[in-house]
Amino acid sequence: MEDLEKVYEVTSEEVREFLASRPELVDLLLEARRHFERQFGADVVVRLRFPIRFPEDEEQDLFASIQSSFDVDTTHEKVNKFWDEWFGDASGRPEAHSLIISTDFIGDSA
């Protein structure tokens, strides 16, 4: 977990507990980091958070939210490359089933 918190922004204690019970997901996220960096740059911020939950939800999903300062088209292109080059295959692994990759737009990079 310590290595993970060096390269991801962990948003709550609930997320820490979720990841502590899923070391295989931690390993996947550590592996994913270089792929995020390849597409979005070495200083990319990726927040690990939960979506809003509804009481009837039994499964918990974790969002890895890429904080993108690129425009919408460029971000979309980079996410597609991330999928094509790595996550398309990695998402089929059992430890990836509770992980959702998303983007948050934080403004222009210009």
Write out pLDDT tens, residues 8-54.
Answer: 999 999 999 999 999 999 999 999 999 999 999 999 999 999 987 65
Confidence check: pLDDT of 67 > 90: yes
> 């996947």: which residue's tokens?
28
- pLDDT attached to residue 34: 97
What pTM does this model have? 0.89
- Is the distance from CB of 61 to CB of 100 less than 8 angstroms? yes
CATH of domain 2-52+59-105: 3.30.70
